[in-house]
Structure 1
Amino acid sequence: MTTLCLRYGRTAKILHWTIVGLLAVQYPIGWLMPDVHRGQAPGAPMTFHVSIGIAILALIVVRFVWRLTHPVAPETSLVAWQRLSSEVVHWMLYISVLATTLTGWLFASFRGWSLKLFYLVSLPMLASDNAAAGKAIDGLHQAAEWSLLALIGIHLAAALAHIFVYRDRVMQRMLPG
């Protein structure tokens, strides 16, 4: 039987804030790196972008498993619509991170790129070289990126509302310390 905690534990906080930090690095790299055209080898920006994406993918899977095996009780001070919307946004964040990272990896695979995780370990190809599929999956990857960014914005706005508007200390459950 799993016991519900009232606060997030150290592991959940470390996973959460590590993913936040990696996403804060990942988005600028993705937006600022030069386009890699067919027949070109991906350079350092693409290697780091994919490597960070794979690290985020691994961490979000661990975070998801951790959340399932170490549940935290819903904040009792929240009204029903806030509890429900919090749960929905959190699950949508998990799905969106998974979709964004997996479509990025698929895109690299469809382009036929041989990539190494931080120049150390070769990443397996999830698919074979296919230009048409690569173009389609690139569109899905971009849509997933924007969806994830919108969800992050909603999540951040709610967090700031709890700090500055409601002043209900809900955020203390996930803050370091």
Structure 2
Amino acid sequence: MGLKNSPDNYGLISKNLHWILAVLLLLNFFLGFIMGDLERGPLRSSLFHFHKSMGILLLGLIILRLLWRVINTTPIHLSNNQLIKRISKFVHYSFYLILLIVTFSGWIYSTARAGPVDVFGLFYMPAIVEKNDVIGQIAKDIHIYSVYIFISFVIIHIFASIYHHFFLKDKTLKRMWY
């Protein structure tokens, strides 16, 4: 298996970026869902800090994955069905768009509420807006609703993978696995 994609398969870099992002996104979404229900205190504060740091890390990985997709070839679509090809393309582009919306709205929400974002205690991401409760609330709402939209795309993605693997019996799922 090569590092780069070929017309028939995804390369190691694409596979690693895909699965690392999947695991980290699920972890961060899980944290996002549970931390709001916790009582104020050190645990909740630590989880919020970790969630924000992970969000910035994910933003960097998403941008890296987008750049890799631009400079690298994409394996040919295995289906000859034009509708499936269009839906697949729409869902993949929507993934990137909604992930950028999720991460940037989270960053805006954090900076509107508290200023620059401390990333794992290593460095600060600058505030991209002034402290402002109204902007913070709008960004928070966008952040939350875009997460639900993203989850709906994840469900479509998982069902499409299952459909390809078990019903169409093609190699779509196998090409993204090791």
TM-score by length of 2: 0.88
Q: Which runs of 5+ in 2 are unaligned?
A: 39-43
Task: Provide the residue aligned with 1:112 in structure 2.
Answer: 114
Which shows bigger deviation, 60-69 or 108-117? 108-117
Q: Which amino acid aligns with 1:125?
A: A
Deviations 1:3-28 (A, max 9, x none): 96221111011101000010110111
Q: CA deviation at 1:84?
A: 1.2
Give the whole-Å Cα distance in 1 for the aligned partners of 2:80 and 2:60. 31
Q: CA deviation at 1:34?
A: 3.3
Task: Provide the residue aligned with 1:163 in structure 2.
Answer: 165
2:30 corresponds to 1:44: no
Deviations 1:69-110 (A, max 9, x none): 112132243411111111110000000000000000000001
CA contact 2:115–2:130 (8 Å) conserved in 1: no
Of residues 126, 136, 139 in structure 2, which corresponds to 1:137? 139
Which shows bigger deviation, 88-97 or 135-144? 135-144
CA contact 2:53–2:118 (8 Å) conserved in 1: yes
Identity %: 27
Q: Which runs of 5+ in 1 are unaligned?
A: 37-41
CA contact 2:10–2:75 (8 Å) conserved in 1: no
After superposition, where does 1:9-88 map in structure 2 within 5 Å?
9-34=11-36, 43-88=45-90
Q: CA RMSD in A?
A: 1.8
